[in-house]
Chain A
Amino acid sequence: MTEEKALYNYLIRLGDNALILGQRLGEWCGHAHQLESDIALTNVALDQIGQARLLLSEAANLQGEGKSEDHLAFHRDEQDFRNNLLVEMENGDFGQTITRQFLFDVYQYHLLKAFCKSENDFLKAFAEKSIKEVTYHRSLSRDWMVRLGDGTENSHQKMQDAINLLWQYTGELFEMDESDEVLMEAGIVPDLSEIKSIWDKEVKTVIDEATLAIPDTRGFMATGARKKGEHTEYMGYILSEMQYLPRSMPDAKW
């Protein structure tokens, strides 16, 4: 595999994570339990969409077929998306959304921190810009984890249910393939097993502080699914909502 092809694959993976998570968070617009949280979640959604735009534009440049970020976002089918399953998971209640966000924020933060030392100029510049946003996301979701986990009996139980449901999707965040190996060799991306040990430690600290428990999960969902373009049952619904307009009216402009 050439370095260019590996980088394309990697950018698509990062871009799809940001895009799908942004789309998921956007579903909260007008639905959160109070105006303050509604705006907070949609702010995070917009940050993710902004990141997705940068990543998918760069991927489209690398691809060199004259396609745009929009083409990659709206005209690929489900099996061509390479996001992690965690970001597709349903919003559920506010606690479940926060838990998904927290698990992902810690991952994304440490990944970006590693990209700040990347040999690739784009990835380095992208990380230096985005890490400020993600530092805030991580602080926001951490606060809510503790506030709700160490809150009332009801909020504690909802948070524990959310962790029990989502934990099995976290293993996939750290799966590596040939693209990772090629890019690691070139000093462009980090070894995800190193990110995992930092992630494990930080997530455990916060979950402890929130008086919650990490479930005794024996196996993780979807080993190797991303490589084959396999997704959860939710992905089709996300894409049909997200892609409907650009597909039915291809030249529609604001």
Chain B
Amino acid sequence: MTDQKNDNSEQGILWEVFVQAKPGLAHKHSGSLHATDAEMALKSARDVYTRRSEGVSIWVVPATEITATTEGDSDSFFDPADDKVYRHPTFYTVPEGVKYL
């Protein structure tokens, strides 16, 4: 409760939940939930997002702490990459048996 003093919602603030499915893999966004503090967010994330053995590690982040691109950024951020096929490693043969590439 000390974490978020400016919270005026009865449900707490919004947290984004990232779950790692196996050791070595990246944490992936699973969804979000409401909690009043980080410890509560972590426990709720465990109960809501990993009760069917989906994960081995959880990150929770206050949604307000995430800085995101906006739709208006799209033209300058992403379009320039469209016509640069040479940036894709398509000129290599990927050895068999390589996972998670």
Chain A interface (Cβ < 8 Å from any Cβ of B): 34-37, 39-40, 43, 136, 139-140, 143, 147, 150-151
Contact = CB atoms under 8 A, between A and B. Distances in A.
B40 A34 contact: no
Nearest to B46: A136
B30 to A, nearest CB: 13
Contact of A147 (B33, B34, B40, B44): B40
Contacts of A147: 1, 36-37, 40
A90 B43 CA distance: 25
Given A34-B34, A151-B1, A143 B40 contact: yes
Interface of B: 1, 11, 33-37, 39-40, 43-44, 46-48, 51
Contacts, number: 32
A143 B39 contact: yes
8 contacts: A35-B33, A36-B34, A36-B47, A37-B44, A39-B47, A143-B40, A147-B37, A151-B1
Contacts of B46: 136
Contacts of A37: 44
Contact of B48 (A36, A136, A143): A36
Contact of A34 (B11, B37, B39): B11
Contact of B51 (A43, A140, A143): A43
A151 B7 CA distance: 14
B47 A43 contact: yes
A208 B35 CA distance: 24
Given A34-B11, A36-B44, A39-B44, 15 more contacts: A35-B33, A35-B48, A36-B48, A37-B44, A39-B51, A40-B43, A40-B44, A43-B47, A43-B51, A136-B46, A140-B43, A147-B1, A147-B37, A150-B1, A151-B1
A94 B77 CA distance: 48
Given A147-B1, A147-B37, A39 B48 contact: yes
A125 B37 CA distance: 36
Nearest to B51: A43
Contacts of B37: 147
A34 B39 CA distance: 16
Given A143-B40, A147-B40, A151-B1, A36 B35 contact: yes
